[in-house]
Chain A
Amino acid sequence: MALSTLSRRGLRSTLFKPLSAAVSSRPISSDAPLTIETSVPFTAHNCEAPSRAVTTSSSELLSFFRQMALMRRMEIAADSLYKAKLIRGFCHLYDGQEAVAIGMEAGITRKDCIITAYRDHCTFLGRGGSLLEVFAELMGRKDGCSKGKGGSMHFYRKEGGFYGGHGIVGAQVPLGCGLAFAQKYSKDETVTFALYGDGAANQGQLFEALNIAALWDLPAILVCENNHYGMGTAEWRAAKSPAYYKRGDYVPGLKVDGMDVLAVKQACKFAKEHALKNGPLILEMDTYRYHGHSMSDPGSTYRTRDEISGVRQERDPIERVRKLLLSHDIAAEKELKDIEKEVRKEVDEAIAKAKESPVPDPSELFSNVYVKGLGVEAFGVDRKVMRATLP
C-alpha cells in the first residue's frame, strides 16, 4: 500500500512536465508492459484482423489520458473563443474523436505522413504542434502554425509530416496517394494516412484515389473517420452502404472502434505493416463528434440529445482510459483530476499568449501567392498599381 502511494507520487511529479520528458524520466519499474483487450473486436474485409490484445504500458496510458484531456479542453476553449468572436472564419471541432488522433500517433512515426480535412486541430497537436500555434492560428495571428494566414481549417506542420488541413470535402485523399507514391519511390518504408469523413466517402474523388492506390500498390491508408453525420445528414441517409471499410471492394478494409485509443493504435500499426507489404487499406474508425458540424450547427437538430449523452456515458474515449487507469491501479482519481486541472491551465496560458501575438503584417496579404519574386503584385497605398515580376 505504502509502496503504491510512493510510486504514484513519483509518477505525479513527472506528469506535469512536458510529455516527452515525463515518459523518459519515469522509473522503469512502474512502466511494465500491459496487455489490454480491445472492447470490441475488429471487423475485417479481405484481410486477417489483428489481435484484440494490445500491448501498452502505464506511462503510455497516462500520456493518452493527458493528451486527450488536453485536446478536449482545447476544443471547448476554441468553442468559447469563437462565440466571443475572437475566432473568425469557419471552425470545426474534434471533441469526441480524440482517440483517433492519439491512437494513430501511437501506432506510427512522424516520418509517416498524415493528411486530413478541415477538422484538423487535434491531428495537428498529435503531430507535435503546440497549443500556442493552434490558438494563434485560430485567431489569425502571426504565431499560428500557418502564420495566421490559414485559420481553423488550414493547419500544417511539415516537420511533423502533417500535410494539413484541407477545406474541400474529399479533396485531400488523392493528394495522399501522391504522398504515398513519393514515399514508395524513395523506399523509406513509410506510409501515408489520408483521413476523410463519412460524408466525404461519397465523393467521386475517393474512388479515383482508391483505384490509383491499389493499381500502383501505394503505401496509402485511407482512414474514414466515421462520426456518423456528414454535416447534418446521418450516414444511412447519404450512403447506400455505410460499411465504409468494405467500400474499397478490391482494397481490404478494417473496421475499428474509434472511441478506443488502444484499438486505434493496434489498427494503425497493423495498417502500416500491411500497406508496406501489400498496398492500400481502408480503416473505418467508428467515432462520434459531440459538437455540431461547424460552429453554425448546434448539432442537435438531426440527432437526439439522448444519443449524444448516451455516447458520452458509454463510449467516451477519455473516460475509457480513465477507467483503465483506475482499474489497473496506475493512477488515483485525484491525480487524474489534477491532470485535467493542469491541462486547463495550459490551455488558458496558451490562449493568453496567443492573444498577445500580433496579426500578420498587411504585406502578408500579397506574399505566398506565388513563389517569392514571381507573379502579380500590387503596389501603392491603394494597391491599384499592379506589376508582374518575373525571376
Chain B
Amino acid sequence: MSTKFGRLVSFVGKRRFSTSSSVQKGGSEQGVKSLNLCSAINQALHIALDSDPRSYVFGEDVSFGGVFRCTTGLADQFGKKRVFNTPLCEQGIVGFGIGLAAMGNRAIAEIQFADYIFPAFDQIVNEAAKFRYRSGNQFNCGGLTIRTPYGAVGHGGHYHSQSPEAFFCHVPGIKVVIPRSPRQAKGLLLSCIRDPNPIVFFEPKWLYRLAVEEVPEDDYMLPLSEAEVIRQGSDITLVGWGAQLSIMEQACLDAEKEGISCELIDLKTLIPWDKETVEASVNKTGRLLVSHEAPITGGFGAEVSASIVERCFSRLEAPVARICGLDTPFPLVFEPFYVPTKNKILDAIKSTVKY
C-alpha cells in the first residue's frame, strides 16, 4: 500500500494540470512562467498588494514568509504596515479582518492550517457571513479573504490534513473557493480578493510544490461560481475540486483504457456553485460520481448529489456515486486507507457505468 502511495505521489508531481482557457484579460504581453502553486499564490498576493493600496496581508508568521513560504518577500516589498504577523489567535485574526474590511479595505487573512480555522468559525459564521444581511446592507466585510491550506499531504496526521470545506458551505453569505492548479490558484485568488463578498479560499497544500504549470505573469482573474469541464467524456460525469481532481484525472485515464469515457468537472467555487454546468454534463452522460477527501457523511458531495438528483432524476441511469474520505477522524498511519484513491474511484466508475 505504501509503495503504491509513493508512486502516486511522484505521478502527481510530474503531471501538469490542464487549465481553463477563460483567462479574462492580458495573458500574452508579459509572457508566462513555469510556477508551482505556492509561487503562483505568492505572485497573486504581490499583485493584490501592488494594485490596491488598501489591501493588507496578515496571519501567523506571514511577514517571515509563512510556514509554506507563500508570503515570501511581501513584507520587504510592501512594508510591515501592510504585511504583518499576528499573535496565535485565529478568532482574533478573522474578527480583526472583518473590522478592517468593514472600513473598505481588502483584508487578506491567513489561517496557517485549515485544521486551525475552527477557533475562528464563530467569527466567520456569525459575524462575517451575516454582516451585510443583518445591517440591511449598511455594512459588509466583502473585502475579507481568508486563505488557508487544507487537505492530505501523505503524513500530516490528525491536525494537519483535514478538509473542512463542507462546514463553510452551510453558511449563506460567504463563498468557498478551492483551486486545482497554479494558474487557477492565481486567477481565482485575485478574483476572491477583489470580490465584494467574504470568501474562504482553501489552498491544496499537497500541491504547493508538486503542481507546476505555465502561469501568465500579468494580472488576471478567473470567474467565481463557474465550473469548468476539464475533460470531455460521454459515459459518466465526475465532479471534484482542489487536489482531488488530479487523483480523479488518473482514474479517468485508467477508465479510458477500459473503454469508458469520463467527463471531469472542476467545481472551483463550492458556494454558490455552478449547478448548470454539472446538470448539462449529467444530462449528457446520465451518470454522476463526486469525490472529495472530507468524510462522506455531510460532505459537499452530498449536496452535489442531491441537487443533481433533483434536476436530472429522469435522466440518471445509475445511483450517484460518492467516493470520499471515511467517516473517521483523519488517521495518522492509515491515511492510505482513508483517502479516496484512484482505484476506489476507478471501481466506482466501472460499477456505475455497468449498473
Residues in chain A within 8 A of chain B (CB atoms): 88-90, 140, 148-154, 167-171, 199-200, 202-205, 230-233, 237-239, 296-297, 301-302, 359-360, 362, 364-366, 369, 376, 378, 382-383, 386
Contacts and interface: CB of A to CB of B under 8 A. Distances in A.
A376 B298 CA distance: 13
Contacts of B329: 369
27 contacts: A88-B332, A89-B157, A89-B332, A140-B332, A150-B158, A151-B158, A153-B157, A153-B159, A154-B158, A167-B159, A169-B88, A170-B88, A199-B87, A200-B88, A203-B119, A204-B89, A231-B61, A232-B64, A233-B61, A233-B85, A362-B337, A365-B328, A365-B337, A378-B326, A382-B344, A383-B326, A386-B297
Contacts of B326: 365-366, 378, 383
A301 B87 contact: no
Interface string B330-343: 01111001100000
Contact of B87 (A88, A238, A386): A238
Contact of B67 (A154, A204, A296): A296
B327 interface: yes
Nearest to A148: B333
Contacts of A154: 158
Complex A-B, nearest 4 residue pairs according to Cβ-Cβ distance, in ascending order: A89-B157, A88-B155, A202-B87, A140-B333
B85 A237 contact: yes
A151 B158 CA distance: 9
Nearest to B88: A199
Interface of B: 60-61, 64, 67, 85-89, 91-92, 115-116, 118-119, 154-160, 296-297, 326-329, 331-334, 337-338, 344, 347
A156 B337 CA distance: 25
A88 B157 contact: yes
Main secondary structure of the interface of B (DSSP, over half): loop
A156 to B, nearest CB: 13
Contact of A168 (B159, B337, B338): B159
Nearest to A89: B157
A205 B327 CA distance: 29
Nearest to A360: B333
Contacts of B60: 231, 233
Contacts of A89: 155-158, 160, 332
Given A302-B64, A362-B337, A382-B344, A90 B159 contact: yes
Nearest to A234: B85
Nearest to A118: B159
Nearest to B333: A140
Contacts of A362: 334, 337
A199 B89 CA distance: 9
Nearest to B116: A168
B158 A167 contact: yes
Given A152-B157, A202-B87, A301-B64, 20 more contacts: A88-B157, A88-B333, A140-B333, A148-B332, A151-B157, A151-B158, A169-B88, A199-B88, A202-B89, A203-B88, A204-B92, A233-B85, A297-B67, A359-B333, A362-B337, A365-B337, A366-B326, A366-B328, A369-B327, A386-B327
A233 B119 CA distance: 20
Nearest to A204: B91
Contacts of A140: 332-333
Given A200-B88, A301-B64, A376-B327, A365 B344 contact: no
A364 B326 CA distance: 13
Contacts of B328: 365-366, 369
A386 B116 CA distance: 29
Contacts of A302: 64
Contacts of A153: 157-159
- Which of A148, A301, A376 has most B Cβ within 10 Å? A376
A254 to B, nearest CB: 23
Nearest to A200: B88
